[in-house]
Amino acid sequence: MTPDGMKRLKLDEGYAKLLPTGSCEAYPDPKSGGDPWTIGYGCTGPGIAKGVIWTRAMADAAISARVGALEARLAHDLPWFAGLPPVRQDVLVNIAYNVGLYAVEHWPTTLSHFAAGNWTAAAHDLRNEGQWNRDVGQRAERLAVATETGRWA
């Protein structure tokens, strides 16, 4: 992921539940009031539960590791991914970070536009991707613009 792409992802995910020390504390899912607990930059999973505290360094390491794993899986699962321009790779990683790899890999029309380099159509899909678009609001527009232009605004 490009440095600007990582900055954008961190802004999109946010560094939530900041403590006076600069560390962060796990918080419950807003809908369930419990699982899945989240910490740092939108991290969930084993070991993340009520009372868990991370330093910013721990949160930075976790997002970097998760991004690396997503990039590797996208490159494995979508053979054309590695040939995309860097910012367009960032966009797909950002989406996969948000919704999960399985979900993004089941956007066949959008992915076909990315694979073909049809940036206008891919951006249109991101602006109109149903529930995801409604859930993330301006994030979808920012990712659509980056898809169209190949640059982070």
Residue extents of the structural domains in the chain = 3-149
pLDDT of 143: 97
- Distance in angstroms (rounded) separating the CA atoms of residues 148 and 99: 21
Specify which residues 54 forms β-bridges with. Answer: 24
Q: Are 125 and 92 in contact (CB under 8 A)?
A: no
Nearest to 105 by CA among 94, 92, 117: 92
Contacts 24+ apart (CB under 8 A), 103-109: 103/132, 105/77, 105/78
* CATH annotation of 3-149: 1.10.530.40
Task: Indicate the pairing of strand 24-25 with strand 53-54.
Answer: antiparallel
Neighbours of 39 (CB within 10 A): 25
Q: Are 88 and 114 in contact (CB under 8 A)?
A: yes
| pTM of the predicted model as reported, rounded to 2 decimal places | 0.94
> What does the pLDDT profile of the chain (153 residues) look like in tens digits?
999 999 999 999 999 878 889 899 999 987 788 899 999 999 999 999 999 999 999 999 999 999 999 999 999 999 999 999 999 999 999 999 999 999 999 999 999 999 999 999 999 999 998 888 888 999 999 999 999 999 998
